[in-house]
Amino acid sequence: MPVQTPRIVITGVGLTAPNGNSLAEFRANLLAGVARISEIDVRYMGRLPAGVCSFDPLKYQKRKEVRVGTRAGSIGTYCAREALADSGLALAALAQDRTGIFIGITEHGNVETENEIFNISKFNYDTKYWNHYHNPRTVANNPAGEITLHLGVTGPAYTLGAACAAGNVGLIHATQMLRLGEVDLAICGGVSESIHTFGIFAGFKSQNALGSHPTDINKSSRPFDRSRNGIVVSEGGCLYTLERLDDALARGAKIYAEISGYCVNSDATDYVLPNPTRQAECIRQSLVRADLTPRDIHIVNTHATATPMGDIQECECIRAVFGEGCPDTYINNTKSYIGHCMGAAGALELAGNLPSFSDLTVHPTINVDDLDPQCALPGLVLNHPKKVARIDTILNNSFGMLGINSTLIVKRFAP
């Protein structure tokens, strides 16, 4: 008799986004159309739009932890503790060696290195002023490592560098580790501290891909709008607790959703420009693994970042998969509220849609005053929430530079 693949479920969500520090606050603002983009000073570049989180790191960390650690570590620690609290799992009761931490990141270490170089420039580049915590702050596994130090978790803990597909990849990898029996509980998702490095702003500026708006900063991120002009760089984090279904049921856990299907693939065609054919293949493979057809999907949350060509390419891929024959499929975007949270984007955007299983409402893409005809998709929900009869499945797209694509499908839990 074949061995049945364990079913994996989401039992806790912890997040911080530019427009909310809990799932309830985040969701309320998505339904109310509340974007929250700030203007910050960026070294060498002046004041620019950015998504800034307002969580209190001292809710869980000591001042020394915050001082010695990184912004990404603080974001991760806050989200991990919030997810555990939401799941009903007591920190003291965790099986520490059977808990895994899998954190998606776009990049890590640039913030600390830029700051240290700027600091020693004031002292004629004398490296005796270089911070001796620099190395542990900049290693790629830092955000996961800081969480382990805080939680005392001794199981596998590391980051997954997957550009802007990283939030989904954190969840996908955690699902695989649970199915392999390597861990019994996974804390997973993605984090980003990107707004604290001038390099990412300068890089997008050099590509003519840095978003702005002439009169309303909260419209700086406007995917699908004809006047869109680029990415709003944002920080943020969203971590989940994932468990095997049998374990979740045994402890009477609240279950948000079940992981249904997923895929990660690569374009292998360009450093930056997406390949809609490969993106469509990623979506189709995730549907195969979920044993679903395009008509079975009720929400498609797009990756669209508000770059002129990127949005068009993704719409082309969605059109290729879903076409005109999916009347119950609705399409939305979350970056229009919070900008692009980089490594946290996929995880945050999935979280913003999870409550749809309960309230049967699709949050809209906002800031679309003049829809680009090349982005006019059937089922696109614009500017106002849409109440629908049924939501059983959510498909979350998250794509990144160097052609990494990820698609994750979750479904309403049914015993």
Q: Annotated active-site positions, please?
A: 164, 303, 340
Cβ atoms of 298 and 391 within 8 Å: the answer is yes
Burial class of residue 393 (count of CB atoms within 10 Å of its CB; 0-12, 13-18, 19+) = buried
Beta strand pairing status for 185-192 and 99-105? parallel
The Cα-based distances of 343 to 236, 248, 315 in angstroms read 8, 27, 22
**Of how many residues is the chain composed?**
415
3-state SS, the chain, equals CCCCCCCEEEEEEEEEECCECCHHHHHHHHHHCCCCCEEEEECCCEEEEEECCCCCHHHCCCHHHHHHCCHHHHHHHHHHHHHHHHHCCCHHHCCHHHEEEEEEECCCCHHHHHHHHHHHHCCCCCHHHCCCCHHHHHCCCHHHHHHHHHHCCCCCEEEEECHHHHHHHHHHHHHHHHHHCCCCEEEEEEEECHHHCHHHHHHHHHCCCECCCCCCHHHCCCCCECCCCCECEECEEEEEEEEEHHHHHHCCCCCCEEEEEEEEEECCCCCCCCCHHHHHHHHHHHHHHHCCCHHHCCEEEECCCCCHHHHHHHHHHHHHHHCCCCCCCEEEECHHHHCECHHHHHHHHHHHHCCHHHHCEECCECCCCCECHHHCCCCECECCCEECCCCCEEEEEEEEHHHEEEEEEEECCCC
Contacts with 32 (C-beta within 8 Å, 6 or more apart), sequence order: none
